[in-house]
């Protein structure tokens, strides 16, 4: 199976997950969303768990390439990170945050999912921690423990995800809370205009 098919299966998995939810997701339904046969999917992924593990891995890769920006200015890096995290899902991916929350709720029953979510969290905190450390060195930000800031920002982002799903809240509201909290910690507020 070429990387083109893998990409197609991953995209089909995302669509099927949004449409049917975790409990009703089947290999057949994923096949129906793609031009790949159910047998071909089964050939590469023994179980639904393995397929979803690959899906989360793919999500991590996409996150990393999305935030792996070339900006040398740590202020710009933080702004671009917030743009990526608080991007409004497109109308066809409207249910993606819900599907992802279902997978998070499954993590206690699936070690593989938990490992992927831990990796994703590490990646998120790493982006913030590095940008904060670089910003302090460059004299842009107040002296503060970068690890603490990264942890607080990551946790508020986790909270934003729940609030979006459980309360139907717009991510913009949390973005504002993250910006105010960053201001309290590092004495600097990312401007939404930086990358616009």
Residues at the interface with a copy of itself (CB under 8 A): 23, 95, 98, 101-102, 104-105, 107-108, 113-114, 117-118, 121, 148, 151-152, 154-163, 165-168, 173-174, 177, 180-181, 184-185
End-to-end Cα separation, the chain, in angstroms: 39
d(CA 145, CA 147): 5
Residue written as token pair 């998995």: 13
- Which CB atom, from 12 or from 100, has the smaller least distance to a copy of itself? 100
d(CA 193, CA 151): 25
Closest approach of Cβ 44 to a copy of itself, in Å?
26
- Which CB atom, from 66 or from 104, has the smaller least distance to a copy of itself? 104
- Which CB atom, from 163 or from 192, has the smaller least distance to a copy of itself? 163
d(CA 172, CA 108): 30
Closest approach of Cβ 97 to a copy of itself, in Å?
9
DSSP class of residue 168 equals: -
Burial readout 29-39 (b: 16 or more C-beta within 10 A, e: otherwise):
bbbebbebeee
- Which CB atom, from 34 or from 53, has the smaller least distance to a copy of itself? 53
Closest approach of Cβ 20 to a copy of itself, in Å?
12
d(CA 33, CA 25): 12
Cβ(54)–Cβ(16) below 8 Å? no
Closest approach of Cβ 72 to a copy of itself, in Å?
28
Closest approach of Cβ 91 to a copy of itself, in Å?
15
Chain centroid offset of residue 146 CA = 21
- Which CB atom, from 78 or from 182, has the smaller least distance to a copy of itself? 182
């Amino acid at each position: 199976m070429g990387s083109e098919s893998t990409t197609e299966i991953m995209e089909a998995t995302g669509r099927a997950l949004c449409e049917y939810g975790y409990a009703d997701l089947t290999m057949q339904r994923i096949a129906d969303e793609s031009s790949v046969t159910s047998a071909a999917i089964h050939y590469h992924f023994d179980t639904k768990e393995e397929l979803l593990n690959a899906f989360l891995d793919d999500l991590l890769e996409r996150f990393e390439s999305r935030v792996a920006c070339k900006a040398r200015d740590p202020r710009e890096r933080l702004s671009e990170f917030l743009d990526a995290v608080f991007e409004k899902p497109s109308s066809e991916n409207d249910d993606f945050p819900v599907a992802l929350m279902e997978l998070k709720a499954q993590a206690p029953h699936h070690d593989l999912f938990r490992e992927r979510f831990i990796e994703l969290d590490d990646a998120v905190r790493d982006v913030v921690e590095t940008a904060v450390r670089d910003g302090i060195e460059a004299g842009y930000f107040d002296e503060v423990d970068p690890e603490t800031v990264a942890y607080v920002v990551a946790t508020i982002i986790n909270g934003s995800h729940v609030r979006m799903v459980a309360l139907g809240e717009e991510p913009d509201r949390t973005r504002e809370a993250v910006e105010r909290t960053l201001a309290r910690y590092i004495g600097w507020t990312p401007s939404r205009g930086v990358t616009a």
